[in-house]
Structure 1
Amino acid sequence: MNTFPDERDLPEARHRQLRQFVLTETREAPAPVRRRFPRPAVLAPVLGLAAAAAVAVPLLLGGGAPAYAVEANPDGTLTVSIFEIKDPKAIEGNLRGLGYNVIVDYVPQGKQCAQRVRSQDWVPREQADWVNLPPDGSEVPGYVIDPKMIKPGQTGVLMFAVNEHHVAGVVAGVWGGISNGPVAPCDLVDGDAPLEG
């Protein structure tokens, strides 16, 4: 229901008054206001604080999708899925928290481990096949690992070849080995050798 009368229903005097008001207002338009932008010396710190807040708030509140997932399978294996190339030591910590002595490294495209021989005593490949792709038809992205193959005193090594130039990063391949002794850290240097321990 319209509480105001339509314009055509107005008395002639009111029509004239309304027309005069509109014409007066359009003739006496205010002068444009000249806006003055803040100086760069003032604007730069403000923008810097805004950018820092945009990064810090999700970190503090735990927002965003996880960078990886480690899920237990019914057969005792684990599925490691990597969604974002961020922090291999977080995956390593997760696996160690489950009781498995595993070292995890990301090796970006165009890099390699400086220490080419990271262990002097690798378990033969046939006896250390503990990293596999998920079964055909599986909807679970990632790699299936069998950490039960790592015996006491041994160290499992997972090296993921990654492409950091992709938007979220992509895992291009994985190498897994088991060492009977200590494993040298993977200090990255320029190079393009295939993944191996």
Structure 2
Amino acid sequence: MSFKDKLLEELRAEAATISWEPRPAHRPARRLVAAAGLAAAVAAAMAVAVPLASETPAFAVIKNPDGTVTVRINEFVRPKDLEKRLREEGVPAVIDYVPYGQACRQPRGQIVPQPNRMPLRQAEDSRDFWIDPKDFGPDETLVVQMHSANGDVAKSNGGSVSVIRGSVAPCELVPAQFSGVDRE
């Protein structure tokens, strides 16, 4: 579901909570003023919502009915905001976007082996991925490190995903070690 669709759904849900009663034969003036004020507020909210909905957010985090969390990253900016949103949805996370050609010094903590489970699952034919908060044990944190393609914040050019048990060391930038074809 796109950001615009989610916003429109929320506005419709809010409008559905308004009680519309039949109009009495005579209406006191203050009720008429209150109704006019409500109509003006709804119109103002719609005027503000339309321009906001037309902008693409840097990321979207949506809690699914089954408890999983769907994530879409449109721009590799504001990683700490994404980290905060994931934590609000039950996913302990550390997100770092690093400059192209750089990486976080490893190790950043005790890596949890992932033989039969993946911390992120890619949705088919989509930029979305999903995470199940139940995949993380006590004191485990999802650690995502990504870098943009030659400084283009809309494109990723690699990174790493791991799960760390215990504290996660801050990202200390070091030159990246590329294997295989250079990604420039």
How far did 1:127 drift?
A: 4.7
How far did 1:78 drift?
A: 1.6
| Distance in structure 2 (CA, Å) of the matches to 1:108 and 1:128 | 29
CA displacement, residues 71-121 of structure 1 (integer Å, 9 cap, x when unaligned): 2234322221111121111100111122332111113321111x22101x2
| Distance in structure 1 (CA, Å) of the matches to 2:141 and 2:98 | 19
Q: Cα–Cα, structure 1 residues 164 and 68, in superposed 2: closer, same or farther, change >3 Å?
A: farther
How far did 1:146 drift?
A: 2.0
TM-score of the pair, normalised by structure 2? 0.59
Q: Which amino acid aligns with 1:144?
A: W
Select 2:106's aligned residue among 104, 116, 127: 116
Q: Which amino acid aligns with 1:190?
A: P
Q: Say which one has the larger Rg.
A: 1
Hey, which bits of structure 1, 4+ residues long, moved more than 3 A?
Answer: 61-64
Match for residue 25 of structure 2?
Answer: none
**Match runs of 1:1-197 below 5 Å:** 64-113=55-104, 115-119=105-109, 121-135=110-124, 137=125, 140-166=126-152, 168-193=153-178
User: Given that residues 112 and 193 in structure 1 are in contact (C-alpha distance below 8 angstroms), is that contact kept between their aligned partners in structure 2?
Assistant: no
* Runs (5+) with no aligned partner, structure 1: 1-60
RMSD after superposition: 2.5
Specify which structure has the higher proportion of strand. Answer: 2
How far did 1:182 drift?
A: 0.9
User: Given that residues 69 and 89 in structure 2 are in contact (C-alpha distance below 8 angstroms), is that contact kept between their aligned partners in structure 1?
Assistant: no
* Runs (5+) with no aligned partner, structure 2: 1-50, 180-184
Paired residues, number: 128
Secondary structure at 1:129 match in 2: coil
TM-score of the pair, normalised by structure 1? 0.56
User: Given that residues 72 and 78 in structure 1 are in contact (C-alpha distance below 8 angstroms), is that contact kept between their aligned partners in structure 2?
Assistant: yes
| Distance in structure 2 (CA, Å) of the matches to 1:182 and 1:116 | 13
Q: Percent identity?
A: 34
| Distance in structure 2 (CA, Å) of the matches to 1:116 and 1:160 | 14
| Distance in structure 1 (CA, Å) of the matches to 2:55 and 2:150 | 19
Q: Which amino acid aligns with 1:89?
A: K
